[in-house]
Amino acid sequence: MELREHVTLGPLTTLGVGGAARYFAAATTEDEILEALGWAGQQGVPVRVLGGGSNLVVSDAGFDGLVLAVWLRGSSFSSASGDALFSVKAGEPWDSVVAQAVARGLAGLEGLSGIPGSAGATPIQNVGAYGQEVAETVVSVRVIDRSLLSALEFSAAECRFAYRDSFFKSEAPERYVVTEVRFGLSEREPAPVRYPDLLRELERRAIAAPTLAEVRDCVLAVRGEKSMLLDPNDPNGRSCGSFFLNPIVPAELAERVRSVAGSTAVPTYPQRDGRVKLAAGWLIEHSGFQKGLRDGHVGLSTKHALAVVAHDGATANEVKKLSQRIVAGVRERFGVELVPEPNFWGF
């Protein structure tokens, strides 16, 4: 294990802001993870685990501890054709994982194309988009238990997946380091497309019965139009993607939102438990925060009100202040509490 000191973290995140880690180690094997964790335990140094840096805001002061970058790479399929178990190391870039599955004609991940970050983060967040979640295909997750310094395996049921949530995120945060994820994928046609953005893109291409590859291409096109792909030439590109979770609220609160909105149609998505999912981006825009808003060196994407963008000269403090301003504005207008999706380090 190579231990470095005072490594600036901003360039290792998609938002591109933040100070330095007091200590930094990049692990490419489970043994190196165990070595780094053992060293930190002996020294009494706190640890944060870094994946692809796509869901992270690091404070301007940085992190006074060890940042452990999990860069394990590699993937394999259990069979050459038909249904397959797809085993992926945690450090694999996520979109590459989706591309490999689609290239083999395996369905289940195509709607998750273009999402930045690494494979190891997907079960923690239960990453989802366009009607798919990794919870639908995860078979098991291999982890290092930081308390026991040993490897364990969690079944999908033990992961306790929920909307953008899992056991790892809400019940045992920081305890486990994901090293490998196994997905069960099927050789079949893609599920029917229901999301309006994708339907419009398919219609524009005159595709009535899309293949997996065509669904993937359409997802990438739609995400690109919204500046939701990693593109260094995109002025909206320095972001965490969607900065706030879509709130799931009691039906009574959803009705209140409709009442406050008056004649304006409110996008709502009924849930199986009787609650209602609201669109965070819609709430933000209708609380007075328009796409393209600038506040110092930060702002909202010109294409997507749900994305907080860091422009040249931006600081982490500016990002946090804008996010707090948005949360307060939506609360005051609609009585809905938005929850940021990224992790915040060092604040």
Q: Which residues are catalytic?
A: 164, 242, 341
Sequence-distant (6+) residues with CB within 8 A of 255 are none
CA distance 157 to 334: 36
User: What is the number of residues in the chain?
Assistant: 347
Q: Which two tokens stand for residue 112?
A: 């998750």
CA distance 219 to 198: 7
CA distance 148 to 158: 18
Alpha helices in 190-308 (DSSP H): 196-204, 212-225, 251-261, 280-285
Could you tell me if 230 and 14 are in contact, meaning their C-beta atoms sit under 8 angstroms apart?
A: yes
Could you tell me if 210 and 110 are in contact, meaning their C-beta atoms sit under 8 angstroms apart?
A: no
Could you tell me if 304 and 228 are in contact, meaning their C-beta atoms sit under 8 angstroms apart?
A: yes
Q: 287 exposed, middle or buried (CB, 10 Å; 0-12, 13-18, 19+)?
A: buried
**Which of 111, 102, 99, 106 shows the shortest CA–CA distance to 85?**
106
The SS3 assignment for 15 reads coil
Alpha helices in 238-312 (DSSP H): 251-261, 280-285
Helices first, then strands: H and E counts in the chain: 9, 20
